[in-house]
Chains A and B, each alone.
Chain A
């Protein structure tokens, strides 16, 4: 019985302390038992007095074991709720758009499978949030206890936020919804886009080259994920800080470069799109002259749009962070 008790304590402790503590604990129990030989069940009463082994192990360790400790609990719940809301709304919208663009794939967009997709996306989102918090928690525990830190100084106090620098909570939430929609549409796009119906049947004409697209997909998803993290940080910090603005600008520069490269350089677009389209619709290529012109210029236009979008984004970020009230 003593063995079982000692094991129950030591198994909850860091490896390098186990042996030491086990020996010490065993010695203690022996001694306590010897002091009570007049009692009927000395071992039982000693173990009862030492109390719950889990608690004893906690006392040895100096902190309790949490996945999410008390310090982060409220924040965790807030973020989980927000992310869950954003992701499920984003999914509903994205799936609806997918359905509208491509009702022919009706079977695969059935109500039940839609619920299933949303559910698994929700689980994913919550799992990611939990992983982030878990890491934060571990760092916290390594640095010390779960109590607020001692080397706190007045300089650490945030300024009372000026109303104009507060990020309204709806801001990152809206962005998260948008990013979810974008992610889902991109991910599902090979199935959604590139489908043209003529009078007879459904023909698949792909504006992009599938292989290249699949190749580029991880880059898209990574930039979306990074952006998600940024929105996540905005939600938690809640104020426009200079660091946040710099990180945001850097991140958006990175995503802009990635998207610019993908759109203009990667050979993503299907050069035979127009001829394939004309074939699919049983119309001569000459009918598509205008479309063809647009098509040829599209990478350039998209590239310019990306640059323009980046410039506007930097402008608004800089303005909102550094000059919140002027202009």
Chain B
């Protein structure tokens, strides 16, 4: 749909911004799994927060985090269909703490860095 971005510059921009967001993905997901959620509810929630994520990216990521023992999953069979819920494991909580700390450090530095490089910003 939005694939026809026309010029090379625009598609390059699309790639680079995708790459930028990809790095924050794990942190994003971990931060939202203190309560158990299933894949699609997570997609919707992130969307509501202005963070669009494709299910085709999120679902495999959830599994990968589970295999690294950062998440625990369980099949919920009470509803009409069985559904897989994920939540943070103990290791996941620790990881979330560490990554959050790093995130704040990094954004602080980045803000400083980017402000310095903006020529129009006059003090």
Task: Give the B-binding residues of A (Cβ under 8 A).
Answer: 17, 20-21, 23-25, 27-28, 30-32, 49-51, 55-56, 59-60, 62
In the complex, A55→B57 CA distance in Å? 10
* Contact (A60, B40) CB under 8 Å given A24-B84, A32-B55: no
- Quick one: given A23-B82, A23-B84, A24-B84, are A31 and B56 in contact (CB under 8 Å)? no
Pairwise interchain contact B57-A59, C-beta atoms closer than 8 A: yes
Tell me the smallest distance from the CB of A140 to a CB of chain B, in Å.
Answer: 19
Does B39 sit within 8 A of A, measured CB to CB?
yes
What is B's interface to A at a CB cutoff of 8 Å?
Answer: 38-40, 54-57, 59-60, 63-64, 81-84
Residues in B whose Cβ lies below 8 Å from that of A49: 54-56
The chain B residue sitting closest to A29, CB to CB, is: B55
In the complex, A133→B80 CA distance in Å?
A: 49
Instruction: For residue A18, give the distance in angstroms from its CB to the closest CB of chain B.
Output: 13
Looking at B39, B55, B57, which has the most chain A CB atoms within 10 Å of its CB?
B55
Residue of B38, B56, B59 ringed by the most chain A CB atoms within 10 A: B56
Chain B contact residues: helix, strand, loop or mixed = helix
Indicate the member of A24, A55, A56, A62 with the most B CB atoms within 10 Å.
A24
Per DSSP, are chain A's interface residues mostly helix, strand or loop, or mixed? Answer: helix
Q: A27: which B residues are within 8 A, CB to CB?
A: 38-40, 81-84
By beta carbon, the residue of chain B nearest A23 is B82
List, in ascending order, chain B residues with CB within 8 A of A59's CB: 56-57, 60
Residues of the A chain whose Cβ atoms lie less than 8 Å from the Cβ of B39: 24, 27-28
Complex-state Cα separation, A50 to B39, whole angstroms? 14
A25 near B40 with CB under 8 A, answer: no
User: Contact between A31 and B60 (Cβ–Cβ < 8 Å)?
Assistant: no
Chain A residues lying within 8 Å of B57, measured Cβ to Cβ, are 59
How many Å lie between the Cα of A32 and that of B64 in the bound state? 22
**Which B residue sits closest to A26, measured CB to CB?**
B81
Q: A24-B84, A50-B55, A56-B56 are in contact. List 12 more A-B contacts (CB 8 A).
A: A17-B63, A21-B63, A24-B39, A27-B39, A27-B83, A28-B39, A30-B81, A49-B54, A49-B55, A51-B56, A59-B60, A60-B63
A62 to B39, CA, bound (A): 18
CB distance from B9 to the nearest CB of A (A): 24
Q: Which residues of B contact A28 (CB under 8 A)?
A: 39-40, 55, 59
The complex places the Cα of A55 from the Cα of B56 at a distance, in Å, of 9
Chain A nearest CB, measured from B78 CB (Å):
14
User: A32 vs B83: C-alpha distance in the bound complex, in angstroms?
Assistant: 14
**13 pairs across A/B with beta carbons < 8 Å?**
A17-B63, A23-B82, A23-B84, A24-B39, A27-B40, A27-B83, A28-B40, A30-B81, A49-B56, A50-B54, A51-B54, A56-B56, A59-B57
A25 touching B64, Cβ below 8 Å: no
A122 to chain B, nearest CB (A): 42
Q: What is the distance, in angstroms, from A80's C-beta to the closest C-beta of chain B?
A: 33
B59:A25 contact, CB within 8 angstroms: yes
Determine if B82 and A50 form an interchain contact, defined as CB atoms under 8 angstroms apart.
no
Give bound CA distance, A27 to B62, whole Å. Answer: 15
